[in-house]
Amino acid sequence: MFGTFRMIMIGAMVAGLAGAGAYVFKLKADNATLKANQIKLESAVSEQKELIENQKKDFKEILDANNKMNELVNVLKKDLENLDKRFNKKNRDVGKLAIQRTESIERITNKGSANATRCIEIASGSPLTDEEKNATKKSEINPECPSIANPKYIPY
Residues 6+ apart with CB under 8 A from 132: 122, 142, 149, 150
For residue 65, the model assigns a pLDDT of: 94
Predicted TM-score (pTM) above 0.75: no
The predicted-structure confidence for 34-57, as pLDDT tens digits, reads as follows 999 999 999 999 999 999 999 999
For residue 55, the model assigns a pLDDT of: 96
The predicted-structure confidence for 71-129, as pLDDT tens digits, reads as follows 888 888 888 887 777 766 667 777 777 788 888 888 988 998 898 898 888 888 888 88
Contact (CB, 8 A) for 154 and 141: no
